[in-house]
Chains A and B, each alone.
Chain A
């Protein structure tokens, strides 16, 4: 366990170096969040009675989404891993006295945390200063905050487990781009990235909530904004845990089988 932990710290330190990129990304995210809120404001002013969640809750959802974007953005693939499987460089990894799958997991989590850590603080600070229904509402009970943190941890694990599942498929596909493109689109639509799930039509929403994508940003953001009340949280988080187990074990089996089939040529 110690070696994965130190590898994790190493990646985290490396990721924290890209400060200029983070600053630039942050300003973009602030404008994005503002545009999104202005858009929903138009809907809210016109039809407040058809709004499935409070405007304040929605604003909190949107700002947290911008703040933690790098944690759950599906397009943050680990290109090094994909390349290593494609070129066969993965064979070097096999020589090391570490489990390749755990290494991948440590690496994915570390990179996501590093990217998010740099960007989240200014977005959270600035957006919490905005006036009442448009800003991030930080008033939250300690119990709810604890549940939120736990669901955030589960969320990062689901996202990384899903990515690892995709990497393990690359052992069998000549071109992983197709599955990656589809994953990004599905996560956008079914995970509440482009429209928060409560806004979707009833039947489609019920379907979306069962997919692994809804166990990503959808859960913690809605718990924080109060849209998922605490009594309902255990069920949703149970589903998160279920997907972590399923995706991780499927990916693990695929990788083990893929490595067993792989023939490494010398040279």
Chain B
């Protein structure tokens, strides 16, 4: 763990070397996601509610997804950019070192600029939590924390699957962006809004609804309390991801470059 923090501080300092470009890319990431929030706010201004959700409730919903993705994109950037690691044959070097493979891949690259989005999520939470959208209890607070952390976990799993595919294709597969950029964009509304088929896919295939739609039902007093524990179940998704990763590593042949 100490080693990990050391790597993080290295990446952070290297990003801070070019201070103005660091802040500019923070601003760039931030503007994209504030636009997403504004789009929700504009539509709510016209329609007042959708599916029974109000603006503070939707902003809680988006904050959870935004925090999850930005945590994953900041710390799992190494996996996200795995295509580059493979094509530059850095993975050969990684395999020679006496540390866990995945740990080293994670340390290869981090993206501190994504923390700007975490800040936006925190601001949205700070507005939504006291707004009266939810009658808070200690257990509900726990659920909210679980939603964010397990959400980051699932996005981590999605990155991992993407990296495993890279073992076989040797280049980034753009179609997989549907499950990487898509949820960040469309997680602004609870997934139930998009209709039953979408909700089923996101419950059983890529269980993002387990960290967003279902626990939200509990937070808004529309569902039973055990919905609040579903984020933990969603972590089962990481098992097939880990198996795929091992399969990928076994299949690995250096590109030799």
Contacts and interface: CB of A to CB of B under 8 A. Distances in A.
Q: How large is the interface on A (under 10, 10 to 19, 20 to 34, 35 or more residues)?
A: 20 to 34
A41 to B, nearest CB: 7
B42 A195 contact: yes
Given A24-B173, A24-B175, A42-B193, A177 B25 contact: yes
Interface string A195-207: 1000111001000
Interface stretch (B30-38, B127-135, B211-219): B30-38
B138 interface: no
Nearest to A193: B35
A35 interface: yes
Contact of B175 (A27, A46, A52, A178): A27
Contact of B38 (A39, A175, A189): A189
B51 to A, nearest CB: 6
A50 B24 contact: no
A28 B32 contact: no
A47 to B, nearest CB: 5
Contact of B177 (A28, A41, A178): A28
B173 to A, nearest CB: 7
A262 interface: no
A140 interface: no
Q: How large is the interface on B (under 10, 10 to 19, 20 to 34, 35 or more residues)?
A: 20 to 34
B189 interface: yes
B83 to A, nearest CB: 13
The B interface, classified by DSSP as helix, strand, loop or mixed, is helix
Interface in B137-190: 173-175, 177-178, 182, 186, 189
A31 interface: yes
A182 B31 contact: yes
B5 interface: no
A39 B27 contact: no
Given A24-B173, A42-B194, A50-B46, A31 B178 contact: yes
Interface string A150-191: 000000000000000000000000010110011011001100
A204 to B, nearest CB: 8
A43 B45 contact: no
B46 to A, nearest CB: 6
Contacts of A121: none
B50 A42 contact: yes
Given A185-B32, A194-B35, A41 B195 contact: yes
A21 interface: yes
Nearest to A198: B46
A14 interface: no
Given A42-B50, A175-B24, A195-B43, A35 B195 contact: no
Contact of A31 (B45, B182, B195): B182
B196 to A, nearest CB: 10
A25 interface: yes
Given A39-B186, A43-B47, A195-B43, 9 more contacts: A21-B174, A24-B174, A28-B177, A35-B198, A38-B193, A38-B195, A41-B195, A181-B28, A194-B38
Interface of A: 21, 24-25, 27-28, 31-32, 35, 38-39, 41-43, 46-47, 50, 52, 175, 177-178, 181-182, 184-185, 188-189, 194-195, 199-201, 204
11 contacts: A31-B178, A35-B186, A39-B194, A41-B195, A42-B189, A42-B194, A177-B28, A181-B25, A185-B32, A199-B42, A200-B42
A-B CB proximity, top 6 nearest: A185-B31, A24-B174, A181-B28, A38-B194, A194-B39, A42-B193
